[in-house]
Amino acid sequence: MAMKMTKNLLNHMAYRIVKGLVAQGLITAEDRNRLVESVSTLLEEEIQKEEQLEEEVRNILLQHSDKIRVENVDYQEMFRMIKQKIAKERGIVL
């Protein structure tokens, strides 16, 4: 499941990503702060997508909770499988 991340942590991760890419010569950045903010925003959007996906998976499993119980299905394994299947169908990278 997605880890809750603070804005400060996302900004720090974005800073480290940009710093690493610039240091390796893979990108150049005239305005590093703006680039860090853009990367931070992208990270936040991706985390939100994953959180929405997980909520959808929980709802699917809730709809089938009786069957899951009766058939003694491992909830975590089923959660993971459904999440991966939906993510693949929607082109979401986990």
Average model confidence (pLDDT) across the chain: 92
Dihedral class, residue 49 (left if φ above 0, else alpha if ψ from -120 to 50, else beta): alpha
Model confidence over 1-32: pLDDT tens digits? 445 788 899 999 999 999 999 999 999 999 99
**Predicted confidence band of residue 42 (pLDDT cuts 50, 70, 90):** very high
Q: Which phi and psi (to 5°) does residue 79 adopt?
A: -60, -50
Handedness of CA 2, 82, 52, 68 (dihedral sign): negative
- Give alpha helix (H) positions in 1-94: 7-23, 32-63, 65-70, 75-90
Q: Which tens digits make up the pLDDT trace of 48-57?
A: 999 999 999 9
Cα 71 to Cα 56, 67, 85: the distances in Å are: 22, 6, 21
